Amino acid sequence: MRSLTWRHFDFWLFGVVVLLCIFGVAMIRSAIAGNQSLADSVTRQIIFVGLGLVVIILTAVVDYHYWASIIRPMYAVTFLMLVVVFVIGKASFGAARWVETGLVNIQPSELGKIVVILTLADYIQRTQDQPHDLRWIFRSLLIAGGLVIWIVLQPNLSTTIVILVLWFALIWISGLKIKYIVTFAIAAAILAPLAFPFLAEYQQKRIIQFFAPDPEAMHGDTYNVEQALITVGSGGWFGMGYGHGTQVQLRFLKVRHTDFIFAAMAEEFGFVGSMVVLLLIIFVILRCLRASRLATDTFGSLIAFGFATLIFFQTAVNVGVNLQVIPVTGLTLPFISYGGSSLISLVLGIGLVESVVLRHKPLDF
C-alpha cells in the first residue's frame, strides 16, 4: 500500500503550473486587443484555470492505478466522441474538431492524448515481460491507431502527429531495439512524401508555402507566419511592455490568443521575458521526468514520461511555428494559449503526475 501524505506532493510543479496559467490569462487579455468578439475569452479562461486547479487536486488524490481499471471504458467513450465529431462536429480552419454543447465546445482529440498515454502505459506494463518484437509493436500501434484514424478524418494532422510521437516515445523508452528505430525512421522518410496527396487542401498549402513561399502572398497563406516573425522581431531584448505591442494591439497579428500567442508574448516581453516563460515550461517538463524516475512501477513511470513528452513536443512545435522553423500547425502553447479543452487535458495530466509522486514511497507508520 502507498501513502497519501501531502509532504510528497510536488508543490514546485503545482506552483509553476499555476503561475503559467495566470500568466496565460494575462497574455490572452492583452492579445485580444479590445476585440469585442473575443471579449469573453478572458473570463472563460479564468473559469477554466479555476476548474483546472480543482482537477489537479482531485486527480492527485485518486490513486493513479485506478485509471488502469477503467481504461477500456475511457477508450470506448473517446472513440465514440471522435466518431461524433466526424459526423456532426463544428468546423474551424478547414477541419471539424469541436462538439458544441451549448455551454462550451468540447475537443475530444485533446482527451485522446490522455487516453493514449494511459492506454499505452497500461499495455506496456502488462506486456513488459513479453518480447518487444514486431507483434508487440503492432499491437501498441493498433491502440494509438484506433483513435488516430478518426482524428485524421477530421482532418487534424497536428494532433495525429502528437499521438504518433507519444506512441513512439513510450515504446522507445520501454526498450525498443535500435533496428526497429532505424526501420521506423526509413519508413517515415518514405511515407511522408507519399502521404502529401492525401492531405486536406489547406494542409497542402501550408506545406507548400513553407518550403516555397510566395513573396507576393503577403495577404494570403503566408500572412500569419510573416506577421508572427515581424511581431517577434519587434519585441527586441526586453519587449515593448505589457499591452503595448503594436503588432498585437493594432491587430496585424491574427490568431494571436491561441496559435500565435508566443509571438504576442515575445513582442511585449522581448527575448528575455520569452526565455523566462520557456524556462518555466522546461521546469514543468523536468519535474514530470523526475516523477517518472521516482515512480515505483512501470505504469506510473510511463504516465509521467508521456506527459513530459506531450508538453515538450507541443511547446517545441508552437514556438517553431511562431519562428517559421516548421510549417503552421494548430498546436497551442501549453498553459498559455486560450483553450478550455487543451488546458483541462494538460492539468489533468499534471494531476496524474502528482498522483504518481504522492505514492512513490511506501506507507509510513
Maximum Cα–Cα distance across the chain? 72
User: Would you say 120 and 167 are in contact if contact means Cβ atoms under 8 Å apart?
Assistant: yes
Concatenate the DSSP letters of all residues of 33-95 into one string: TT-GGGTTHHHHHHHHHHHHHHHHHHHHHS-TTHHHHTHHHHHHHHHHHHHHHHHHPEEETTE
User: Would you say 268 and 30 are in contact if contact means Cβ atoms under 8 Å apart?
Assistant: yes
pLDDT of residue 121: 96
Closest CA to 155 of 109, 220, 207: 109
Digit-by-digit pLDDT tens for the chain (365 residues) are 444 567 789 999 999 999 999 999 999 999 887 777 787 889 999 999 999 999 999 999 999 999 999 999 999 999 998 888 877 765 554 554 555 555 556 788 888 999 999 999 999 999 998 988 899 999 999 999 999 988 888 778 888 999 999 999 999 999 888 988 898 889 888 888 887 777 777 777 778 777 777 666 555 557 788 888 889 988 899 999 998 888 888 888 888 888 899 999 999 999 999 999 999 999 999 999 999 999 999 999 999 999 999 999 999 999 999 998 888 887 899 999 998 888 999 999 999 999 999 987 654 43
Question: Cell digits for 365?
Answer: 507508520
Distance, CA of 223 to CA of 322 (rounded, Å):
12
270: left (phi over 0), alpha (psi -120 to 50) or beta: left
The DSSP bridge partners found for residue 92 are 95
User: Would you say 163 and 117 are in contact if contact means Cβ atoms under 8 Å apart?
Assistant: no
Closest CA to 24 of 359, 312, 315, 236: 315
Q: What share of the chain is helix, strand, coil (3-state, %, to 5)?
A: 70, 5, 30
Residue indicated by cell numbers 519585441: 235
Omega of the bond leading into 334 within 30 degrees of 0 (cis): no
pLDDT of residue 214: 67
Q: Is the pTM of this model over 0.75?
A: yes
Q: Sign of torsion, CA 11 12 15 21?
A: negative
Distance, CA of 105 to CA of 99 (rounded, Å):
5
Cα 283 to Cα 287, 290, 307, 308, 311, distances in angstroms:
6, 10, 13, 10, 11
